Amino acid sequence: METLDLIVNIAASTLRLATPLILAAMAGLLSLQVGQVNIGLEGMMLAGSFAVVAFGFWLGSTWMGVLAAILVGVALAALFAFVVTRLKANLIVSGLALNLLASGGTAYLLEILFNTSGTFSPTALQSLPNLSLPVLSDLPLVGRLLFNHSPLVYVSWLAIPLTALFLYRTIPGIHIQAIGQNEEAARSVGIPVRRRQYLALMIGGALCGLAGAHLAVGDLALFREDMTAGRGFIALAAVYFAAGRPRLSALACLLFGLFEALQFRLQLASSIPPQFFQMLPYVMVVITLAVISARKEWRKGWS
């Protein structure tokens, strides 16, 4: 019974920890599909974390904070889109700049606005209450595992099929794929390329805002400097791992979430150092990319 308990606990925390990854991965996937590798996921998430705490605190409502996080994510994404599509700045460099802007900007604002550095956890701010789905949450084990979570966990589950539906079935989604694979072709049939790029990136910004919000108020209710701690890049790793496909990306996020869960649980109990689990997602994506490329090279030879 105790082992079963442990397993359920680990599984449930996997789902919680995977939530920001899934949301950010859907964002990364949309920008990848529209042909714009987005290094700035991390920064957008961090800004979302800050926004949810700051606005949640000011407005006295965590949900209003979540809304603010979404808006901040969208605004940063719009800035990013403007810089890379309109001003034609280099993607990677702009993404790095966005991350620096977010980490410097949130730390700066933390001091200026709240006169504190490091961590900010106002007592007036509540974390999002767990949403226990009626009936379902009473099921043994499954109820605790699946249906007793912070609301944004369910949002992340919804985000997966919705992203797939959007990308593969809606007209803007088809256009986004077309732009990513052959921008010239998309342009030649009069698709408003730039507007679609904005759309893909800004939806991504909203998702990143949500991801950041979950990090800050999904469990506890606090903002810590650089609290995203590379999760944006783990999400990006998941997207590359899954070659840009929504469901597979989400699965990869779950896997990476599991690593994170294990690292907390096993730290004391086992001899596996926690850094091992921290490194695993990055190592896996490098190996995966190497294997995919090796197979491709094998098939086509140099040309």
Partner 1 sequence: MPYLELRGIRKTYPGGVLANDDITLSVEQGEIHGLVGENGAGKSTLMKILYGMEQPDHGEILLAGRSLKIANPHAAIQLGIGMVHQHFQLVPNLTVAENIALGAEPRKGLFADQAAMHSRVRALSERFGLQVDPAARVSDLSVGLQQRVEILKMLYRDARLLILDEPSAVLTPQEVESLFSVLRRLVAEGCTAIFITHKLYEIMSICERATVLRRGRVVGSVRTAESSPAEISRLMVGHDVASPQRTPPNANPRDRLVVRALTTGSAHRSTPLDFTIRSGEILGVAGVEGNGQSELIEALLGVRTGVTGDIVLDGTSLSRLNARRRREKGLALIPEDRNREGLSRPMQVWENLASATYYRSARASVLDLGGLQGAARDLIRRFDIRVSSEKSAVSTLSGGNAQKVVIARELAESPAVLIAAQPTRGLDVGAAQFVHEQLLNLRREGVGILLISADLDELLALSDRLIVMFEGRILATFQRDAATRQALGLAMAGRLESEDAP
Partner 2 sequence: MRALFTGALPRTVLTVLLALVMGGVIMQVSGKDALNAYQVLFNSAFGNERALANTLLAATPLIFTGLATLIAFRAGIFNVGVEGSLYVGAFTAAWVGFTFVDLPGVVLIALAFAAGGLVGGLWGLIPGYLKARLRVDEIVTTIMLNYVAIRFTDYLVTGPFFVPGMANAMSAEVTPQAQLPRLVERSQLNLSLVVALVVFLVVAFMLRRTTLGYEVKTIGSNPVFARWIGMPVSRTIMLVMSISGLIGGLAGAGQALGVNYRFVSGFSRGLGFDGIVIALLGRGSPVGVLLSALFLGALRNGASTMEMFTRIPRDLIDIVVALVIFFTAVEIGFNWLRRRRPTPDAVPPPGSAAEPEKEGVRGNA
Residues at the interface with partner 1 (CB under 8 A): 169-172, 174-175, 177-178, 181-182, 184-191, 301-303
The two three-digit tokens of residue 188, written as one number: 């030649």
CA distance 32 to 127: 32
CA distance 12 to 179: 38
Segment interacting with partner 2 (CB under 8 A) among 9-17, 81-89, 192-200, 212-220: 81-89
- Residue 294's Cβ-count burial label (10 Å; 0-12, 13-18, 19+) is exposed
The two three-digit tokens of residue 204, written as one number: 């991504």
Of residues 202, 212, 278, the one with CA closest to residue 38: 202
187, amino acid identity: R
Q: Using CB distances below 5 to 8 A depending on partner kind, what does residue 93 bind out of partner 1, partner 2, none?
A: partner 2
Identify the residue among 75, 105, 148, 266 touching partner 2 (CB under 8 A).
Answer: 105
Identify the residue among 7, 59, 60, 90 touching partner 2 (CB under 8 A).
Answer: 90
CA atoms within 13 A on the CB side of 229: 10
| Residue with Cβ nearer partner 2 (83 or 258) | 83
Q: Using CB distances below 5 to 8 A depending on partner kind, what does residue 189 bind out of partner 2, partner 1, none?
A: partner 1
CA angle 27, 28, 32 (to 5 degrees): 120
Nearest-10 crossing angle of helices 246-269, 231-241: 130
Q: Using CB distances below 5 to 8 A depending on partner kind, what does residue 178 bind out of partner 2, partner 1, none?
A: partner 1
Rounded to the nearest angstrom, the gap between the alpha carbon of residue 128 and the centroid of all alpha carbons in its chain is 18
Asked if 47 is part of the footprint of partner 2 (rule: CB under 8 A), the reply reads no
Segment interacting with partner 2 (CB under 8 A) among 3-11, 34-42, 61-69, 152-160: 34-42
Of residues 262, 217, 252, the one with CA closest to residue 66: 217
Asked if 255 is part of the footprint of partner 2 (rule: CB under 8 A), the reply reads no
- Provide the residue count of the chain: 303
Q: How far is the CB of 31 from partner 2 (least distance, A)?
A: 9
Site map 118..157 versus partner 2, x via CB under 8 A: ----------------------------------------
Footprint of partner 2 on this chain (CB under 8 A)?
Answer: 32, 35-37, 39, 83, 87-94, 96-98, 100-101, 103-105, 107-108, 110-112, 117, 180, 230, 233, 236-237, 240, 244, 273, 275-276, 278-279, 282-283, 285-286, 289-290, 293-294, 296-297
